Structure 1
Amino acid sequence: MQKYRPEDYQRAREEITDLRSAIQFLSEYEGQLLETDIEVDPVGELSGVYRHIGAAGTTMRPTKEGPMMLFNNIKGFEKSPVAIGVLASRARTALLLGHEPEHLGHAMMQAANSPIKPILVDQAPCQEVVHYADDPDFDIRKLIPAPTNTVEDAGPYVTLGLVYAEDPQNGDTNVTIHRQCFQSRDEVSIFFAPGRHIDVFRKKAEAMGKPLPITVNIGLDPAVYVSACFEPPVTPLGFNELEIAGAFRNRPVELVQAKTVDTKAIAHAEIVIEGEIMPDYRVVEDQNSHTGKAMPEFPGYTGEANPSLPVIKVKSVTTRTNPITQTCIGCSEEHVSLAGICTEASILSMTERAMPGRVLNVYAHSSGGGKLMAVMQFKKLSAKDEGRQRQAALVAFGAFPELKNIIVVEDDVDIFDSNDVLWALNTRHQADVDTIVIPGVTTHVLDPSQMPDMSPSIKARGMSCKTIYDCTVPLELKETRFQRSQFMEVDYQRFLPQD
């Protein structure tokens, strides 16, 4: 995995404050930014291009890990560039966040343990231009070049829209990313996976017969996006993940009062959609396309269109001058970076409390989209630790309930090298005694195998069988039968070209 100099990571921590500074920062590093002025159609073509250039993740092959792309010439839009794949590489994400790739989970865990509250400012870049929805010429579909990722999509989607809202009863605040589809000139549908905190706020407001004021913030500092992907129990209801982003950057996230709704927006966003989630109003997600499909999701499949989704009634759109729309492909490596780093931090946090010093590191593997699979590096310190590696996996399932599969390996295995992990699976694992199955447990609703006709243990969709693959060995055997071949430590650098 590509690494940079310590001074590069330090510069990122000091210089990156928003999307624009992140792109400028990447422009100085070879192979991290590809900019094009060739016209591209946001309907299918833009994502089709990036699928080959750098999507990776669970995207259908052929695909690869590559640079982020900045499309400057979007068909049907003037001076409205689109950035895609900003975080579609762990090495690039690490560079932007200012920490080495293998330390991202630890760094995010430390930030979660020392939150810094956002602050309110009077003026903000995100409000340089204001478009009001009561203007007869207003049409959000003509303002924001949101891509349609595949020809089957329900419509143009905001895939990186960070929703900010407040609890209508007690004023608690929260941010989360949700898929949002443009349905008409001033209506956007929004999908909530079960248990999302802003959906709790929405339901409270609906029970009161009131709309829920929200802002949808697009084009942000990478640290804000990644921090926003924490979930319970690390961030319980009422905990605003912007506090983690503040700690990660060692400076508070700046908010500004929205122009047309009673809530806040992220001051350094490129685009902010201001609106209200209306009570007792639902739409069919694919009412305009009638394909039965929604958009590509992190497991690598296109999700089904939802027959009844809440609706954001748009009041205004505020932007920077010549705003950059930031988007991602749902099944790309970008989702792994967004969801996976917080998955790692959550597991590290909970296991360190339960058994200090035993779980050295965690990788939320790309094949699970950053959610369904984790590889845990466990260190046995004494014979009494035998069996605790499995207990650590159980703690991980509790720390991040959406996990489906966990592979536990020894401390001599590189968890970020899939070949090394599979080597451990092939040489240190016996399926009849080292595979632990836990049927009938709730995990992520978007796993398409979660249905009764896949297994008799699944009573309803959304339930799954979780599995632990124990690829560790008894401590007394590690130094005898399971000692890896040892090579001479040498100064290999002197054999390489000096430039």
Structure 2
Amino acid sequence: MLKEEATDTLSVNDIKDLRSALAFLASKPGQLLTTKKLVDPHGELAGIYRKIGAGTPVVPPTRIGPAMIFENVKGYDMRVAVGILASRERTALLLNSSVESLPFALLDALNHPIAPVTVPGSHAPCQENVHLAPLDIRTLIPAPTNTLLDAGPYFNMGLLRAEDPETGEADVTIHRLCVQGPDRLTVYFVPGRHIDQFRMKAERLGRPLPVSINMGLDPAIYVGACFEPPTTPLGFDELTISGGLRKRPIELVDCVSVAAKAIAHAEIVIEGEILPGERMREDINTNTGYAMPEFPGYLGNAQAELPVIRVTAVTHRNNPILQTIVGPGEEHVNLAGIPTEASILQLVEKSMPGRLLNVYAHSAGGGKYLAILQFRKSSIRDEGRQRQAALVAFAAFSELKHVILVDEDVNIFDSNDVLWAMTTRYQGDVSTVFIPGVRCHPLDPSQTPQFSPSIPAEGISCKTIFDCTVPYHLRDQFVRADFVDVNVEDLLS
């Protein structure tokens, strides 16, 4: 238990930063585990949490378990927290929602955004301690190494914030950041990411791009930041969604060393500049050939040329907590998947109101590759619309690879129930729709010409619809056995 902050009276409405989130979890049985055991951030920390609560698609043995705080990290006087969002149930608790309603909560926040506000440095806990360059981030912050083949230590929950050098519009996104030296980080941008667009604009102007890297945040900030186009187009500030989730503005503060803003209640902020024209090989210090475990479950390849961030300052709270993620795993599933669910629900609802009941971005797809859609057919005229909904889902989230369609009597959050529907309501030759030759997310190792001659280039995939819904005219032949509805809580109590 987080003894110094646990309280029985803390409400979810009191959450405004990582510390209050941890205190809230400490009051919920089974949601937070703390250890004082000496732990090495090089491989051991991730190896422990893999078995405690990392979840799919981490290699077994793994499970969904509590969040965890490591209070005694070898070589550092800094705590490390992991797995805060590595459970859909815990994520729902932290966002004052339910497992089934999470995407609807995000949609409500998207439709009722609240813009962030800037506070003075004297009101920003993240600047209680300031380290200006020259500095060595390797000795200040215990960046974990997930596996012994990683390119190096990584910050995996660093929320980058930057502004368009031409328009001043702001964006926040999470990217992997490899520690390459005392004041150097490499950053990997999947093509099309908005801060990368800002970087390219600044580079064309021959200017560095000022950024803040914010770590240890209110969970609502991390979840709200993970929306993607077309739901949040270039220039859309996702912090407005986070504000909508909390129903109050997120507080920002001017950085101390660059012309950027930081999250005022962050535990740790790294300030810096993405340097124009400078590139670095991701595994330059280790030569492993690999980067780190990626969300599909495999070790990612080290990138040959990545943009470089020059660190100009590190600020942090008193007794700071570094927040990290063991990836792949359930935490990535929730960060990427729940905003994806909301985006699909929004776009399908606009196309065919009242038919799509819910969406689950399944753990097996890392929150990106696989979505299960619960669709209701009200008449014979709805037959075929379920497949149209799947096509809309692909448009709502371009990195989606597979869609499984099920009826309203199937629990989309229960994989056994989904596989039951696939077994009894699906025939491969008539219930499968193949859409070949479509670009997907680049980290799927199966989308190569070597895997299939139908793939012309890496990153191209065959997207697939698995229609496990009952044809409307046969619905009377597929009624599940009905049982008496009994309140077992009274019996068990």
**TM-score normalized by structure 2?**
0.97
1:184 & 1:95 partners in 2: Cα distance? 39
Aligned mate of 1:97, from 95, 100, 124: 95
Structure 2: tracts of 5 or more residues without a match: 1-7
Deviation at 1:10, TM superposition (A): 10
Matches within 5 A, 1:387-406: 387-406=384-403
Paired residue for 2:3? none
Q: Deviations over 1:171-226 (max 9, x none)?
A: 11100000000000000000000110000000000011100000000000001001
Aligned partner of 1:349: which letter? Q
Structure 1: tracts of 5 or more residues without a match: 1-7
Paired residue for 2:133? 133
Q: Which segment is superposed worse, 436-445 or 454-463?
A: 454-463
Aligned partner of 2:479: which letter? Q
| Alpha-carbon contact 1:373-1:404 (below 8 Å) kept | yes
Matches within 5 A, 1:79-118: 80-118=78-116
Aligned mate of 2:477, from 481, 488, 493: 481
Paired residue for 2:5? none
Matches within 5 A, 1:16-95: 16-78=15-77, 80-95=78-93
Paired residue for 1:282? 279
Paired residue for 2:491? 495
2:9 & 2:167 partners in 1: Cα distance? 39
Matches within 5 A, 1:294-333: 294-333=291-330
| Alpha-carbon contact 1:359-1:377 (below 8 Å) kept | yes
1:190 & 1:118 partners in 2: Cα distance? 25
Aligned partner of 1:64: which letter? R
Name the CA shift for 1:10/1:107 in 2 (closer, same or farther; >3 Å).
Answer: farther
Matches within 5 A, 1:75-224: 75-78=74-77, 80-123=78-121, 124-134=124-134, 138-224=135-221
Deviation at 1:46, TM superposition (A): 0.2
Paired residue for 2:225? 228
Paired residue for 1:15? 14
1:117 & 1:10 partners in 2: Cα distance? 26
Deviation at 1:329, TM superposition (A): 1.1
2:449 & 2:226 partners in 1: Cα distance? 29
Paired residue for 2:267? 270
Paired residue for 2:413? 416
| Alpha-carbon contact 2:41-2:73 (below 8 Å) kept | yes
Aligned mate of 1:375, from 364, 367, 372: 372
Aligned partner of 1:204: which letter? K
SS of the aligned residue for 2:485 comes to coil
Deviation at 1:476, TM superposition (A): 2.9
SS of the aligned residue for 2:115 comes to coil
Aligned partner of 1:179: which letter? R
Deviation at 1:490, TM superposition (A): 2.1
Deviation at 1:457, TM superposition (A): 2.1
1:92 & 1:133 partners in 2: Cα distance? 38
Deviation at 1:9, TM superposition (A): 13
1:118 & 1:483 partners in 2: Cα distance? 50
Aligned partner of 1:121: which letter? V
| Alpha-carbon contact 1:41-1:75 (below 8 Å) kept | yes
1:9 & 1:383 partners in 2: Cα distance? 52
Name the CA shift for 1:187/1:42 in 2 (closer, same or farther; >3 Å).
Answer: same
State how many pairs are aligned. 484
Aligned partner of 1:119: which letter? V
| Alpha-carbon contact 1:9-1:99 (below 8 Å) kept | no
| Alpha-carbon contact 2:155-2:176 (below 8 Å) kept | yes
Q: Deviations over 1:466-490 (max 9, x none)?
A: 0000011122321x21000001122
Deviation at 1:458, TM superposition (A): 1.3
Aligned mate of 1:385, from 382, 387, 391: 382
1:151 & 1:305 partners in 2: Cα distance? 14
Deviation at 1:25, TM superposition (A): 0.5
1:396 & 1:413 partners in 2: Cα distance? 19
2:210 & 2:428 partners in 1: Cα distance? 52
SS of the aligned residue for 1:101 comes to coil
Deviation at 1:140, TM superposition (A): 0.3
Q: Which segment is superposed worse, 413-422 or 443-452?
A: 443-452
Q: Deviations over 1:263-307 (max 9, x none)?
A: 100001000000000000001100111100100110000100001
2:242 & 2:412 partners in 1: Cα distance? 26
| Alpha-carbon contact 1:227-1:342 (below 8 Å) kept | yes
Aligned partner of 1:287: which letter? I
1:457 & 1:194 partners in 2: Cα distance? 23
Deviation at 1:354, TM superposition (A): 0.4
Name the CA shift for 1:291/1:9 in 2 (closer, same or farther; >3 Å).
Answer: farther
2:112 & 2:10 partners in 1: Cα distance? 19
Deviation at 1:334, TM superposition (A): 0.3
Deviation at 1:494, TM superposition (A): 2.6
Aligned mate of 1:466, from 455, 463, 468: 463
- Whether 1:360 aligns to 2:357 is yes
Quick one: percent identity of the two aligned structures? Answer: 61
| Alpha-carbon contact 2:70-2:80 (below 8 Å) kept | yes
1:22 & 1:44 partners in 2: Cα distance? 26
Q: Deviations over 1:224-254 (max 9, x none)?
A: 0011110000000000100000001100110
| Alpha-carbon contact 1:9-1:96 (below 8 Å) kept | no
Aligned partner of 1:101: which letter? V
Paired residue for 1:4? none
SS of the aligned residue for 2:433 comes to strand
SS of the aligned residue for 1:216 comes to strand
Q: Deviations over 1:76-96 (max 9, x none)?
A: 001x00000111111111111
| Alpha-carbon contact 2:10-2:23 (below 8 Å) kept | no
Aligned partner of 1:240: which letter? D
Paired residue for 2:331? 334
Paired residue for 1:5? none
| Alpha-carbon contact 1:283-1:310 (below 8 Å) kept | yes
